[in-house]
Structure 1
Amino acid sequence: MVNLLPLLHGDASGPFWAAWSWNPPVLVLLLSAGLVYGAALRYLGQRGRPLPPAWQPIAFYAGLTSAALALMGPLDLYNDELLTMHMLQHLVLIQVTAPLILLGRPVQLVLRGLPPERLGAALRVALRPQWVRTTLTVLTAPLTVTLLANAALVFWHFPRFYEAALYSTAVHDLEHLSFFVTALLFWWPIIDPVPRHHKLPALWAIAAIFATLVVSMSIGAIITLADRVIYPFYAGVPMPWGMAALTDQQVAGLIMWVGGGFLYMGAILALLARWLRQEERRQATLAEQRARHAL
């Protein structure tokens, strides 16, 4: 029975870093995103318009590179043998790829790169229906995105649904898509890729990330501390590097519990530092205003 379990994403029998598969839909999507972003940059440069700071394109293309690593590289090819690799794959998509892409401000850049007459016409057509505007408002609301991101995280770690993704390519793709889309929605109001659109105050953004941190670390702790293999699929496949299924599960849980926790804590500290700087500037402005009134 074990020998009949198919590998969903190719052959992982060679060297780890050489384990790549060229998934055509993913490759086309990543290349298209990169070309559109580059074309928008070129358009702005040719017309003498202000270009974004260098760190934004670097962040965007780093995000695309991380997506390629997660969806076509070793993390993908080894995720049928090791829960550890599957966990790393999800961590990259949710906590690395999504925020890096949004830090590149792709929507803002493309909108600036469109000719004004085309931009106005496109926005009028796209946003004219009231239901479209209402749907976008609800979908990008801070509470909505936090609930969606955490619901996806909890749902796909139930053994029944996790195992379904391992046995079905279509379900596996749906799992990745739901993680990535909800991550984009979650980081959207925090990173603010389009100015003045659902920008979360720093303290509320910290609260949203902290709530997600608690959920993520709780799942990681449950997986790490379990005394049996939670996902039977991994108990039935030969594991590389002589790793036992329970050890693999414990390492995967630690990655989610500790590694994912560090990433979320890093985001919280960055937001806290930004909030403190804003408060210092606000207090300095108030003090200056009081000084003027006192004269």
Structure 2
Amino acid sequence: MATALIAVLTAAYVLCVLVRLRDGRPWPRSCLLWWFAAVATTIVALNSPLATYSGNLFWAHMIVHLLLITVIPALLVAAAPIRLIRSSSARTRTAVTSAVSSTPFQLLTRPAVTVPLYAAVLVTTHLTGFQQAMAQHMWIHHAETVLYLVTGYLLLLPLLGNEYVGRHLVFPLRAATIIACMVPDAIVGVTLMMSPHIIAPAYSRSRPDWGPTALADQTAAGAIMWVAGDGLMMILILVIAREWVATRESSFGGWLDGVRARATIGANTAALDDDAAALDAYNARLAALHHMPRPHHQSEESVHDDQPHRR
């Protein structure tokens, strides 16, 4: 079932890319690569020896958990499927814009909602009887998979890349949100490491002969949750920092351009609040100069050199 769904979604993604290419609108190759990376990681998490042992060993389950709630959502956000669907046609543009602008979507992607949701999911699925129940009922296992993917995707959607979400959080708030998520990672991990009691006895009854003892298995799972979980969050912070540095918002580039334009053109500061206004004023100034009487020594080439152009 999962494999079929992955195949359908991949076919839909590739079809949208082909539609853009047919219309002469290229799609970034990096996004396509991120999509296939997400697909490959999902297959590893759901249909691989690691996925098989995740039902018998707590530490293997924890690795799958991190793939589902952090790695795969991050790759999906980088693939920008929402932006791709929105740009496919006028109809999809209207539908996606309406959905993204809706109150439920805006609410579900706010850090004030996603961070508590992330913390609640971690605590509920690891420090309660959830793991024991999951080992006894397959539908709970499937529900956990969906819960992890949705929770991670909603959390990272407004934080990474340039996916279309209707609004963009400032970079310091993005980094602060990731840092806040490191707290429940550490709490859950340390609790599992330090607990003298077995939280999910089902793992001890189904573990392979070569596997660790139940308590050692739980301790290893806690260490993976803490170290690897926070390690992944640190990587995401570095990604956000890189995006911050690469964006003109991170520096005073736009502000300096405005100061330069005001000093050169002599326009009112209220009229040059952004780069676009500065460029319009610059072009208007050049147009006025173009119609002024020119000295006889000024060549026609020098006039053409002053024609406005966007940097």
- Sort the TM-score into its range (normalised by shorter chain): 0.7 to 0.9
Is 2:19 the partner of 1:46? no
Equivalent in the alignment of 2:217: 248
Q: Within 2, Cα distance between the matches of 1:71 and 1:243?
A: 23
Compared with structure 1, are the counterparts of its residues 275 and 241 closer, same or farther at alpha carbon in structure 2 (3 Å cutoff)? same
- Kindly name which structure, 1 or 2, has the bigger radius of gyration based on alpha carbons: 2
Alpha-carbon spacing, 1:276–1:77, altered in 2? closer, same or farther (3 Å): same
Q: CA deviation at 1:274?
A: 3.0
8 Å CA contact 2:21, 2:27 repeated in 1: no
Partner residue in 2 for 1:222: 191
SS at structure 1 position matched to 2:196? coil
* Residue aligning to 2:105: 136
Tell me which residue corresponds to 1:71. Answer: 46
| Aligned equivalent of 2:11 | 35
Question: 78, 82, 86: which one pairs with 1:107?
Answer: 82
* 8 Å contact kept, 2:99–2:105: no
Residue 120 and residue 81 in structure 1: after superposition, are their counterparts in 2 closer, same or farther (change >3 A)? closer
Q: 1:200-219 alignment to 2 at 5 Å? A: 200-219=169-188
Runs (5+) with no aligned partner, structure 1: 1-24
Instruction: From the superposition, tell whether residues 192 and 143 of structure 1 become closer, same or farther in structure 2 (CA, over 3 Å).
Output: farther
Task: Say if 1:66 and 1:97, in contact at 8 Å, map to a contact too.
Answer: yes
**Normalization by structure 1: what TM-score?**
0.81
**Corresponding residue of 1:59:** 34
Contact persistence 1:192–1:199 (CA under 8 A): no
2:276 — aligned with what?
none
Post-superposition offset of 1:35: 0.2
Deviations 1:141-175 (A, max 9, x none): 22112222221111111231121111100111111
In structure 2, runs of 5+ residues without a counterpart are 265-311
Shift of 1:45: 1.1
* Separation (CA, whole Å) in 2 of partners of 1:46 and 1:246: 58
How far the C-alpha of 1:135 sits from its partner, in A, is: 1.6
- How far the C-alpha of 1:52 sits from its partner, in A, is 2.3
Higher relative contact order (CA 8 A, sep 6+): 1
Provide closer, same or farther for how the CA distance between residues 240 and 47 of structure 1 changes in structure 2, counting only shifts above 3 A.
farther
Task: Tell me: CA distance 1:40–1:226, structure 2 relative to 1, closer, same or farther (3 Å).
Answer: same
Question: 1:257 maps to what in 2?
Answer: 226
| Whole-angstrom CA distance in 2 between matches of 1:135 and 1:242 | 45
- Contact in 1 for aligned 2:77/2:163 (Cα 8 Å): no
Tell me, yes or no, if structure 1 residue 155 matches structure 2 residue 124: yes
**TM-score if structure 2 supplies the norm length?**
0.77
1:269 aligns with 2:241: no
Shift of 1:240: 4.3
Distance 1:227 1:123 in 2: 50
SS of the counterpart of 1:97? helix
Q: C-alpha displacement at 1:226, in angstroms?
A: 2.2
- The question of whether the paired residues in 2 share the 8 Å contact of 1:79 and 1:85 is answered with yes
Query: After superposition, what is the alpha-carbon deviation per residue over 1:187-208, rounded to whole angstroms, capped at 9, x for unaligned?
Result: 1111255336232211111111
Cα distance, 1:271 vs structure 2: 1.5
For 1:122 and 1:138, locate their aligned partners in 2 and report how far apart those are by CA, in whole Å: 18
Deviation track 1:178-234 (CA, whole Å, cap 9, x = no partner) reads 111111111111125533623221111111111111111211111122233222222
Corresponding residue for 2:60? 85
281 and 260 in structure 1: CA distance in 2 versus 1, 3 angstrom threshold: closer
DSSP 3-state at the match of 2:129: helix
Contact 2:16–2:88 (8 Å) recurs in 1: yes
Question: Cα–Cα, structure 1 residues 94 and 123, in superposed 2: closer, same or farther, change >3 Å?
Answer: closer
Task: Tell me if the contact between 1:56 and 1:103 (Cα under 8 Å) persists in the aligned partners.
Answer: yes
Aligned length: 264
1:119 corresponding residue in structure 2: 92
SS at match of 2:167: coil
Give, in angstroms, the shift of residue 282 of structure 1: 3.2
Distance apart, 1:68 and its partner CA: 1.2
Query: Is the Cα–Cα contact under 8 Å of residues 20 and 27 in structure 2 kept in the other structure?
Result: no
Aligned AA (1:26): A
